[in-house]
Amino acid sequence: MTEALQAKLAELPQAPGVYLMKGEGGEVIYVGKAVNLRSRVRSYFTRSSSDNRAFVGVLDRYLTDLETLVVRTEKEALLLENELIKKHKPRFNVALRDDKNFLCLRIDTTHPYPRLETVRRIAKDGARYFGPYASAGSIRETLRVVNKYFQLRTCTDYVLEKRKRPCLLYQIGRCPAPCVHPISSQSYQQNVDAVLLFLEGKCEPLIASLRQRMKGAASKLEFEEAARLRDQTIALERSMERQTVAGVEPVDQDVFGFYREAERLVIYAFYVRGGRMAGGQAFHFSGQQFPDAELLESFVNLYYGDNNFVPKEVLLPFAPGPLDALSALLSENKGEKVRVSVPQRGDKAALLATATQNAQRAFSERKQTREEAQDVLKRLQDKLGLSKLPRRIECFDISHFQGSALVASQVVAVDGEAERSAYRKFHLKTVAGNDDFKSMYEILSRRLKRGLAEGELPDLIVVDGGKGQLASAHAAMRDLNVSGIDLVGLAKSRELEAVHPDDEAERSPERVFVLGRKDPIVLPQTSPELFVLTRLRDEAHRFAIAFQRKVKRKRGLWSELSQVPGVGEGRRRALLTQFGSVKAMRSASIEALSETVGPAVAERIYAFLHSHDGQTDAVREASLEDAAPSSEPVS
């Protein structure tokens, strides 16, 4: 860090504002806002072992200067951050590429003959706006229904004033042609009111109004008008059938789902209008180094700062910071109170879960290209000093329950993607009790022996643990004279002791142990290189835990049933195959049990099961799946 930059850090004000991080040539590479500029900006330069922010690892490479702008309130900081991001387009900020996603409908109710038009910007002009719509297709469908059944003009104000004869829409009954015919504004306003109810999602009162108007037209013998109103009613009823009720409150809501893997993320905007689901759209970003909270805050600020429709309520997956300033800013834009919240339960939490699922689905649909995956693996090779590109990575984990049910797992990734057909489960054969080092030695020895025999060995082996597990794995390779395979250990993040009792506990970063290095390598904690390793390690852990629980439950079932006289291995397996679980056995009659094990043994089993209501969870949870052969090979 230069002396000039150190001097700026020493003089930072304790006030709300915006900071601009600059690179070579004065290029703005990141814009952020802070409630307290001194504490926020200085936090980037706190190089403690617990500092796991991703951007800290690249500051030395990019940062050459720092500029701060002080404002009066956090709301002003949000506004200024929005303007500066649009102006400078920093590489490390999330940025909305353009405004083509934001399609809205506008109707100026102050005009004597309003029309419905598509716009991309919402202006404070007194008109009514509806949207945003998820796609051009959805907005075209809405316009089609309106034009067909509600008969609003589609021509511009200029054409309305200059036209001398009706257009084709009048000829086919889709416009009353106020341009040339003396249509009363009151009659036209009835159609406008119906369109407003339709766009607001208030179809029930609209249908009731249309039926009343239909009966009135029929009583006046205006059968053509009554038939048109009938068709409107039928179309609206069909439209209601396609709509899904999202919650009990008939309000407009924007619900934001968030899904991230390393530097790639998706934010999904899920729209609820009038209590009904109205679609949504996904926003993809890559190359993002900053923490989740900062990315979400910048996105929401930009999203609504672009004159986009502001609903009555905004639901977020987590708090990007104090919500009061964001709520005040959105309320000012809308002209009425806007609620911003992070729901934890109920209908709103369910909506948030749906938005998150859509974000995850959108992320999975846009997979990394092969070139991107190769680039990540190349950077992983460089940062860990590996001897070859780790195209095939295998990760191993040990799992046990209080020293028993000792098992292990092997998961595989090829070119960064999971290769589930190559997953393996292991029963430990030579180790008794809880000894991770010996267990790792046995599992690696067995895997390497099989690999030598079959001619299939990985490029990189990752073991879950630190120096001890790494040494055990290396011993297995050395004893089998295996070379040409890189080996690393991945130690989990752990909670550190707080300096003061009242301080919030911090966590250490994930650490990578490499043979021949005393100190571990700490990769940026949201980097794609580390994500490749942690995702594989977490998958190995999940796979081992699932297998260990199945083994424990199966042994618990076997142990419980073995207490019944006359029930041996064969009858236990037959019972489990027939009924699937102990719960099903308990619900079965003696006659049903006797079809599998005979009348005498069936009576003893029935008596045993109904006298052991306090049996263990292991028995209650046991199922046919636990005892059936796994789809993954077990060693």
Cβ pair 159, 179 in contact under 8 A = yes
Give the closest residue to 310 by CA, choosing from 290, 287, 284, 330: 330
CATH of 562-627, one of 1.10.3720.10, 1.10.150.20, 3.10.129.10, 1.10.10.10: 1.10.150.20
Query: CB under 8 Å to 83, separation ≥6 — which residues?
Result: none
Q: How far apart are CA 150 and CA 386, in angstroms?
A: 69
Same fold: 3-88 with 372-495+506-545: no
Q: Computed from CA positions of residues 378, 383, 384, 386, in that sequence, does the dihedral angle turn out positive or negative?
A: positive
Q: Domain-by-domain residue ranges, the chain?
A: 3-88, 103-242, 253-299+314-325+336-365, 372-495+506-545, 562-627
Task: Assess whether pLDDT exceeds 60 at residue 266.
Answer: yes
Q: Which residue has the higher pLDDT, 86 or 404?
A: 86
The pLDDT value recorded for residue 626 is 35
Cβ pair 545, 399 in contact under 8 A = yes
Give the closest residue to 34 by CA, choosing from 91, 81, 104, 101: 81
Cβ pair 626, 550 in contact under 8 A = yes
The pLDDT value recorded for residue 95 is 73
Residues paired with residue 19 on neighbouring β-strands, in sequence order: 32, 68
Cβ pair 106, 142 in contact under 8 A = no
Query: CB under 8 Å to 201, separation ≥6 — which residues?
Result: 243, 250, 273, 274, 275, 276, 278
Query: CB under 8 Å to 505, separation ≥6 — which residues?
Result: 495, 496, 497, 498
Per residue, the 3-state secondary structure of 63-92, as one string, reads: CCEEEEEECCCHHHHHHHHHHHHHHHCCCC
Task: Assess whether pLDDT exceeds 90 at residue 448.
Answer: yes
The pLDDT value recorded for residue 463 is 93
Q: Which residue has the higher pLDDT, 594 or 400?
A: 594
Task: Assess whether pLDDT exceeds 80 at residue 506.
Answer: no
Summarised one tens digit per residue, pLDDT across range 19-30 is: 998 888 888 988
Which CATH architecture group holds 372-495+506-545?
2-Layer Sandwich (3.30)
- Whether pTM > 0.75 for this model: the answer is no
Over range 255-279, report the average pLDDT.
83
Token readout for 45 is 């330069």
Q: How far apart are CA 146 and CA 236, in angstroms?
A: 10
Residue 365: which H helix or E strand, with range? helix 346-365
Instruction: Mean pLDDT check: name the lowest of 61-65, 276-280, 515-519.
Output: 276-280
The pLDDT value recorded for residue 446 is 93
DSSP string, 231-261: HHHHHHHHHHHH--B--SS---EEEEEEEEE
Q: How far apart are CA 96 and CA 111, in angstroms?
A: 34
The pLDDT value recorded for residue 501 is 53
Task: Assess whether pLDDT exceeds 70 at residue 48.
Answer: no
The pLDDT value recorded for residue 59 is 66
By DSSP bridging, strand 460-464 and strand 392-401 are: parallel
The pLDDT value recorded for residue 121 is 75
Q: Sort residue 336 into left (φ over 0), alpha (ψ -120 to 50) or beta.
A: beta
The pLDDT value recorded for residue 477 is 94
Q: Which residue has the higher pLDDT, 441 or 568?
A: 441
Summarised one tens digit per residue, pLDDT across range 591-629 is: 888 888 888 888 888 887 776 443 433 333 333 333 333
Task: Assess whether pLDDT exceeds 60 at residue 242.
Answer: no
Instruction: Mean pLDDT check: name the lowest of 213-227, 239-253, 299-313.
Output: 239-253
Summarised one tens digit per residue, pLDDT across range 140-190 is: 777 887 887 777 888 888 888 888 888 888 888 788 888 888 888 888 888
DSSP string, 372-440: HHHHHHHHHHHHHT-SS--SEEEEEEEEEETTEEEEEEEEEEETTEE-GGG-EEEE-SS--SS-HHHHH
The pLDDT value recorded for residue 619 is 34
Task: Assess whether pLDDT exceeds 70 at residue 631.
Answer: no
Query: CB under 8 Å to 594, separation ≥6 — which residues?
Result: 601, 602
Task: Assess whether pLDDT exceeds 70 at residue 80.
Answer: yes
Cβ pair 275, 248 in contact under 8 A = yes
Is residue 557 very low, low, confident or very high in pLDDT (cuts 50, 70, 90)?
Answer: low
Over range 336-349, report the average pLDDT.
89
Cβ pair 90, 30 in contact under 8 A = yes
The pLDDT value recorded for residue 125 is 81
Residues paired with residue 118 on neighbouring β-strands, in sequence order: 105
Query: CB under 8 Å to 539, separation ≥6 — which residues?
Result: 395, 411, 418
Highest mean predicted confidence (pLDDT) among 211-225, 451-465, 570-584: 451-465
Q: b/e string for 441-476 if b means 16 or more Cβ within 10 A?
A: bbbbbbbbeebeeeeebbbbbbbbbbeebbbbbbeb
Task: Assess whether pLDDT exceeds 80 at residue 369.
Answer: no
By DSSP bridging, strand 313-315 and strand 253-261 are: parallel
Over range 266-270, report the average pLDDT.
90
Cβ pair 465, 448 in contact under 8 A = no
CATH number belonging to domain 3-88: 3.40.1440.10
Instruction: Mean pLDDT check: name the lowest of 119-123, 308-312, 369-373.
Output: 369-373
Q: Which residue has the higher pLDDT, 535 or 96?
A: 535
Cβ pair 462, 536 in contact under 8 A = yes
DSSP string, 528-548: HHHHHHHHHHHHHHHHHHHHH
